[in-house]
Structure 1
């Protein structure tokens, strides 16, 4: 279900495995219960969420005060989040910003609109991932449901293994929460978790790109200023 990456007196960092839900099931949260059983915590607080198909970094609070402070960071958009994804096709553009309002579509899906009243904002880079696929590094500035999945679909490259927005079956959904940076008690904390679950991550092209993207916060990201006009 998970791999424990870091223990702080106030919070935990785990690598959530793909296919594991973080949502409550009949008022129970099996993932949090499993983590608590390993760490000995009586209660853990979910600070943010990842889709069931998404693997990677998940932040959990270990007490109410810490959870409140960490949740406030997310609410104030003081947290830097970086995701990796493998798309099934070459996108309309290799890098840039996807911005637009998201609205409900058919069944459990969402779609991107041209309007910008309360838009989802996602910066991205991409590079070849072999066999016509594309590796993406994404930096979302908002926390909309399915935001990255919809953004990549909008540029013509649905995520491999995504049963809602993708168009290629695979051994998993190839979206991974790669890195997280946030302020806490007067200092910035940074955590990185390279993907290790899924055959497509192991391809040579992907591994070479990951070596170049080892510190995503230091890259020259596509300009947000021009995109917001």
Structure 2
């Protein structure tokens, strides 16, 4: 198999003082933080042409090269799960993921995921990224519905990943929240981190976390609940 061409990043002043694994997680949402740490420790990430460690603090102007490993073979069983396909061509497929459907196999769940359904529909997906996430460029939580963009080949995967990392892809969500908001629109900017008890959830924290910026506007509201549109800028 041909060696992968390294993906290159240059750290901006806005991202200075982040840990290396935090910076890469921000740039490459297709990878989990633990997987990025494995790649760094395995020598597949170089900082200014030197081997490094996950907790290394990056500085503005630093150059980071990441060589993606070849996809390991894994037995993911295709399943004929119905998909609502919004768009498809030779390079990518966009589906409307329903709430309640997990995106990819993982610990405790090997079947009935979007990946199982996609392998039944189109047979092959890109081999870039983690072995249990073929084709997956970005993620949606299990209970979140919405557009999921999937790459059919490696070139499409790399190009789509660059767009998500550069935030040229606009993310818009509808959310139903309890109560009535004080303002009809606004910008929320807070630091977020993992919930100390519910590890799959995120929460606002005063401790070291990553900055999350969300723009919102109220569509409809009552005293009991509000329907809002959220545009995610970061986090």
Instruction: Report TM bin, short chain.
Output: 0.5 to 0.7
Output aligned runs, 1:55-94, within 5 Å: 55-94=145-184
User: 1:140 aligned to 2:232?
Assistant: yes
Q: How many residues align?
A: 143
Q: What do residues 178-223 of structure 1 show as CA deviations (whole Å, max 9, x unaligned)?
A: xxxxxxxxxxxxxxxxxxxxxxxxxxxxxxxxxxxxxxxxxxxxxx
Question: Which structure: greater helix fraction?
Answer: 1
Aligned partner (choices 111, 130, 136) of residue 46 of structure 1: 136
Cα pair 2:180 2:221 within 8 Å, conserved: no
Alpha-carbon distance in structure 2 between the residues aligned to 1:130 and 1:92: 12
TM-score by length of 1: 0.56
* 2:44 aligned partner: none
Q: Report SS of the residue matched to 1:68.
A: helix
Q: Report SS of the residue matched to 2:84.
A: strand
The alpha-carbon distance between structure 1 residues 116 and 106, as it changes in their structure 2 partners (threshold 3 A), is: closer
User: 1:16 aligned to 2:107?
Assistant: no
* 2:8 aligned partner: none
Aligned partner (choices 212, 217, 222) of residue 120 of structure 1: 212
> What is the CA distance between 1:33 and its match in structure 2?
1.9
Cα pair 1:86 1:129 within 8 Å, conserved: no
Query: Cα RMSD over matched residues?
Result: 2.4
Cα pair 1:99 1:116 within 8 Å, conserved: no
Cα pair 2:193 2:209 within 8 Å, conserved: no
Alpha-carbon distance in structure 2 between the residues aligned to 1:102 and 1:121: 10
Q: Report SS of the residue matched to 1:49.
A: coil
Cα pair 1:100 1:116 within 8 Å, conserved: no
Please tell me whether Structure 1 or Structure 2 has the larger radius of gyration of its CA atoms: 2
Alpha-carbon distance in structure 2 between the residues aligned to 1:115 and 1:95: 27
After alignment, is 93-102 or 117-126 more displaced?
117-126
> What is the CA distance between 1:130 and its match in structure 2?
5.2
Cα pair 1:85 1:136 within 8 Å, conserved: yes
Q: Which has the higher contact order (CA 8 A, sep 6+)?
A: 1
* 2:20 aligned partner: none
> What is the CA distance between 1:41 and its match in structure 2?
3.2
* 1:149 aligned partner: none
The alpha-carbon distance between structure 1 residues 115 and 127, as it changes in their structure 2 partners (threshold 3 A), is: farther
TM-score by length of 2: 0.54
The alpha-carbon distance between structure 1 residues 45 and 89, as it changes in their structure 2 partners (threshold 3 A), is: same
